[in-house]
Chain A
Amino acid sequence: SQQGEEDPQALSIQEGENATMNCSYKTSINNLQWYRQNSGRGLVHLILIRSNEREKHSGRLRVTLDTSKKSSSLLITASRAADTASYFCATDANQGGKLIFGQGTELSVKP
């Protein structure tokens, strides 16, 4: 079973706009990670935020974590058509590296 939920399930925006995806989870965690998946491909790691961190940046990505609300958000700024993909959050509950994934957000960026 999935750890939590992501919303929206699908998001369609224009190039240059920002995209925000949200993730909620249920149990206490060691860290939370975001992954990207292009159609028909494997998942690629984007960013990891530890349970004692509140915000993290990597290039055009900004991730926040609120452990009191058991939620996280991923912001992609100045989106590009190449950002079109599915994005998944995944939680690590300190079980040997095992990750539990959400259902994902399908992002479409139109040129």
Chain B
Amino acid sequence: GAGVSQSPRYKVAKRGQDVALRCDPISGHVSLFWYQQALGQGPEFLTYFQNEAQLDKSGLPSDRFFAERPEGSVSTLKIQRTQQEDSAVYLCASIASANTGELFFGEGSRLTVL
């Protein structure tokens, strides 16, 4: 596609539910990043992939968070047993090269945990 696509755009979950957020990066982009953005804050790094390999998951807040990119294209961020503090916008971004450059962001998935 022309840009990074994320779904769903909005998700409301009851505390304790599992959620899955999808990211479809720009075709051919090697690296894919997930960020979490709380209201009024800057994006916080969660994890990133180079092709299908998850090279850094140091930002994942707990073992309830899991990300995968099995075929090196679409990625899914899964949050198990959601808590209220998980409420945030989850942003996905991709980059053309494996090393550096401009990140292309999706519109984000806004998660609200009640």
Contacts and interface: CB of A to CB of B under 8 A. Distances in A.
Interaction A to B: yes
Interface of A: 1-2, 30-31, 33, 35, 41-45, 48, 88, 90, 92, 94-104
Given A41-B107, A43-B91, A97 B101 contact: yes
A97 B95 contact: yes
Given A41-B107, A42-B107, A48-B101, A96 B56 contact: yes
Nearest to B47: A98
Interface residues of B, number: 28
A30 B42 contact: no
Given A2-B42, A48-B101, A104-B42, A97 B107 contact: no
Interface of B: 4, 31, 33, 35, 41-45, 48, 50, 55-56, 91, 93, 95, 97-108
Nearest to B6: A42
Contacts of B50: 96
A45 B107 contact: no
A99 B42 contact: no
Nearest to A92: B100
A97 B51 CA distance: 13
Contacts of B108: 41-42
